[in-house]
Structure 1
Amino acid sequence: MADSALIWAGLSVLAGSAAAIVALRQNRQARRLAAHLKQAEDDRKRLTRERDGARGEAAALADRLAALAMDTASLRTEVQALRQAEAEAQALLDAAPFPIWRRDAEARLVWVNARYAQMAETTPAEAVARGLELASSHDLSQPRDLALAARDAGILRTEDRRFVAEGDRRNYRIFEQPVGSGTLGFGQDITTEADARGQLRRHMEAHMEVLRTISTATAIFGPDRKLILFNRAYARLWQLDEAWLDTSPTFGEILEQLRADRRLPEQIDWQSYKRGQLGLFTTVIERQEELLHLPDGSTLRLVISAYPSGGLLFAYDDVTRQLTLERATNTMIAVQRATLDNLYEAVVVYGSDGRLSLYNRAFSQLWQIDPDLLNRQPHLTEVLEAARPLMQRGPGWAQLRERLVDSFAARKPTRGRLERGDGAVIDYASVPLPDGAVLYTYLDVSDSIRIERALRDRNEALERTDRMNAAFISNITHELRSPLGTLISMTEVLAQGILGPVNARQEEYCGDIMLASRNMLRLLDDIIAIATIEVGQMALDPDDLAAEDLWQPQSTQWLDLAEQRGVAIELPDGQATPAGRLTGDGHRLRQALDSVFCAAIDGTPQGGRVRLSTYTAENGAADTNGRLCLRIESHSGGLAPVRPTRVFADLADAPDRRRTHADLSLVVARGLLDLHGCGLRLDDGDGMQAVEILLPAGRTPAMAAIAASPGGQ
């Protein structure tokens, strides 16, 4: 029993050990399994990350492939455009009327245009293959030498050549320009220029031979101011030694010699005078004339002109006797003219040769002939032609002109009455003079007739003007404005794509057409408004208005325009506007205010400011107190002391003093404000211009008259 107990105890111990061993093995397997699970989780996460990265790389690769495809298409388009441009350039160069070629680094021909091949009497390919040069057969290396020199120097080189082309000897100016590793060349036909130079040279030689023989003292100085030609008259005039002149002294040396001989007028500052004379060689372009009064009392007429080959030509004429005779003659004529100018009658004297020799102021005024023409002593026929606008017009002019000329040739005293084409009635008389001249007197006796005719003609002219203005307004409305509106509508249809899609450039063109058409439409509206105002046909619809109604509808447009011009604007606050109402045509007053305010924005420099304010007039005339006044100011802002443009000039000037290039919108605004009886006042200060518009408080007599007239209905 004890042994069995011992055995069971041993078995129990062994069983416990076995269980412990089993438990230990299970723990080890569990830990091993947990490690495997953790490793598997890490592998799963790593594989997930690698899969996500691969997907990102694949997406990036797909985007890159798409971009490469787009770049490839763009490059293909570019290549096609370059090929097209190359073909067009090739065609353009082949169409050039002068030869063009290209050389490589060794100055060999690699390309020529059609004109080059035509001059070489072959095809472009054969000209390049054979290396045919445009040069004389005696020096075929000349073209390559010029190209190599241009290539080595890196600058444009030119030279003139003479060779046979198309069976004719021609002169060409050759140009070689370095381009890349080679050169680009072309030729300019200067045959006509070379022939002209030769002809000019022969002409100058003949001219010099003539100058040596004339009596006028002449000297020619070259560009270096040295004497290159003189005649004997020049040496005699200045008493200079011809042997010394043959040594070609300079102009300055001759001046010093003449000063030493006391032949020139005395000068206070000789050096300044000499510098001025020497400066003529660089300043004289056009022909100059002057008189020289010499110390010996003689007077010379000096003519200075530029010489064709460079330098100056000096020509001297002694006009002492001529001036003396002219002074005596002018004195006598002045006495006669002073006598005649104090006569009431118009007087004219024609010499025996039929040329006018004397007249008085009354004659020039009576026949409205330019005194400059009469002072040139014209022939009788020239005076008749000058007076023709006042004479009888029509087919009878030839007979009338012949009768007047015959009366002069008859040399008999005559009297008569002449009715001019302008309605004036003239009494005339002719008296032969002992020296063969004929004196004519004219007296205007048509005052009463002229006044009557002037009144009748003025009335007819006014009626014609009214009819023409009405026709002008009608024509400009139907012949210009209506087609222009149609053009704007059709352009808008095209731009909106109603008739089919349009590309960006076509849409831009349509926008430009509409902008220009609207500007022209606004200009036509201004012209029609001016014409309508001037003929008194402007229709007004007066009504009671609030002050805000004048600027609030245009405020958005003004803000856009100011933003484009870089100008700040200030408009009245509704709470700060003075109370009170005004009477007028709201549409026309808004049109006038819009024109004035837009002109102020346009005339204000960038960075400036335009302000619109309102106030109630006080302490003025009885009819102005309590009336609403608008003030528009244009400030130069940070650009002071820069002043704004005179933006209100056309608004302030009266219609009869309107400028040639007037702002039509301001002219229309002035007319509309005048129709409403508005008062205007300009205020001008440093960096500021302002205009104040005194608005009507009630229906003015002018508005009532317009509303009651047939044109204003």
Structure 2
Amino acid sequence: MDFSPLSLVLIALVLAAWAVGAAMVVLRANQSVKRAKAMRTSLKRMQTLLDVAPALPLLVRVDGRIEAPEKLARMLGLAAMPKYLSELAAPAGNPKGGGLAQAQLDQLWSRIQTTQKSAAPFRMAINLPGAQRSLALYGTLADPQVSPGGAALVWVFDFTESHSEMARLRAAAARATGDFAALVGLIEAAPMPMWFRGSDLTLQLVNQAYVDAVGASTAAEVVQSQIELLEPDEGRSPADIARATLTSQAKSERIIAATIHGARRTLRVSDLPLGLEGVAGYAIDIEEQQQVAREFRAFRDAQRALLDQLSVGVALFDGDERLTFANRPFRRLFSLAEDAIEAHTPFERFLAEARERGRTPEVRDFPEWRRERTGWFGMQDTQEEAWPLPGGTHLRVVAQPMPDGGLILITEDRTESLALSAVRDTLLRTRTATLDSLFEALAIFAPDGSVQLWNRSFAGTWGLTPELLDLHPSADELLSAIGRNLVKPEEAGLIGAAVRAATLDRREKGGQVDLADGRTLRFAGIPLPDGNGLLTVLDITASQKAEQALRERAEALEEADAVKAKFLANMSYEFRTPLTTIGGYAELLKSGAAADPEAAGEYVDAILSAVERLTEQVENVLDLSQSEAGLLPIRKERLDLLDFLTTLVRDRETAIVAAGLSLDLKGRRGRVIEADPRQMGRAIGNLLDNAVVGTPEGGRIVIEIRRAPEGTEWGVEISIADNGRGMTSKELARAQGGVKPAGEGAPERRTGLGIPLARQLIAAHDGTLEIVSRKGAGTTATIRLP
């Protein structure tokens, strides 16, 4: 087939155009492949960057769908990334299952909605439940090219480590703040002045003690006025000294004087450089320490001066066993020179030099002996030794360890005292032999009351054992033993008073005591020139008995005469009164003065009453005389006490009613006694009459019958008590002796021999009568019968 040239040209053009088009397609395809390869490389790079990025994106659409890398799911503890935000919630009841807590999720969704509506960014931090992971969320509205539907883009940051570090730093900061506040408070409350100078060496901070010391009102005033506490020292101001401290960066300390509160005080001032920031300083008041040091030096000097005046030698060794002081007697005893003290001679060397001068005992092994004495420094108790020196000298050595490890060595020359002791022992033996040869009982008491010396007859005279005296008892112990042998143990105090007078008061004092064995001893305490007291005792039993017999006979005669006189005086009154009454009324009748029969009857009644009274007194005298002579007839029979006393009271009913008294009789029937009704009735009647006469109108008389207390020899008790005028002890004694005790304008308490007769009649029935009376409180008579 033939083609025309034009056709060929056209074909050639078409083929060329096709070739060009194909070439362009190939070229474009190559470019697209390259772009795709570059895009894949870029995507891989971006994915890698997202994987290693500190923040992960979370895209949240309006409907709650989410897009996020799987790394975020692993960060939240989920197996896979869910499609909706609500599915990020942790499973209920399993907070460790991963995801967010429901409250956290609700808060996040609320923030996201706000951002989607208002495009306002938000920030929040959450702690994953059940995990120690902290997340920071930063949310913004997503770019339309990322998500055109108004989605929110939330960047999630894992700041667990940062959060822990921040918590640690926050706690450290809080602790540092508290420590700083405490330090500031401590500095402010410190009792010593403290201050701080800046790098320019001006005062920038002072505490309250500094303010008070300089007399300022506030710390600000001190800083503003730059008030210095310290004075210049050797031409250098406190600022110059602080500058030197800051330059050398070394602490400086000095002792200077300053005026604080108007008084000069000694201060120890310290400056401490605080790097290049400044210098801190503080001042400690050591005035008391300085005063104590001065007092100690003065005391030490006074003590050493005092020790030089002693007769015993005293030497001081320090904790290093070196001699620091020795008084004159010590230096004289051991022949020490002054340079030995100044050289602080060691203790072992001191002993060696003393041995060379013959001032130590002769021992076989001197090194061992010296080693034992060196051991005194480590002991707790005081050591005492006797050192017999060559030449007959005897030293008493006392080693007293000190708390600081030192030692006080006290030495005393006992040579003369030992010789005097030997002479004294001889004199004591001579005195003892002399005392033992005396007939008197002697004992010597020391001023402290202890028995020092006695002769052989002393123990036998007082009935003591020699073993007791061998113990050298005190005066109290000796008197206690003597008191057991006395008739009246309390009289041992008389002996003690004599001993005290001789030993303490230095005067003589004597006395006399009776022993239980019938002997009578006369003693005397005599002071001795040596300060002791001598107790001398003499047995005067024989002479005392003769004297006592004569005295008793004279007293008996005087008492009998006095009783006779009282009895005659009283009975003269008792007999004369009714006789006078009878004679007077008889004379009236004889003279016809009682012409009226009624008046004559009254006179006759008075005469009969006086005759009755006289008859009663005569019978009382006769009964009393028969009772004392033992001739009173007693005809006993069984009596019921209640009925018997009731009869006695009925017989005196008229007198009781006339006196305006009340009488109570207490007891029960069945209490029976063996007694003579007449004699017992007279005894109780006399006591009852006394109660009626001695009780004023409106008074009360109580008669009580009761069983005697168990354990006594009595079977029954009868008490007659009244609340009348009563009697004093003197009046009661006179009444019991048969003498009338009359009150001022008051009726007589009793008449005649009522109480003595009642006592005799009751005694005839083997009973007793006891009367107790108190002035203004009444009288009680108690009869006890078997």
TM-score, normalisation: structure 1: 0.41
The structure with higher relative contact order (CA 8 Å, sep 6+) is 1
Q: Which has the larger radius of gyration?
A: 2
What TM-score, normalized to structure 2?
0.37
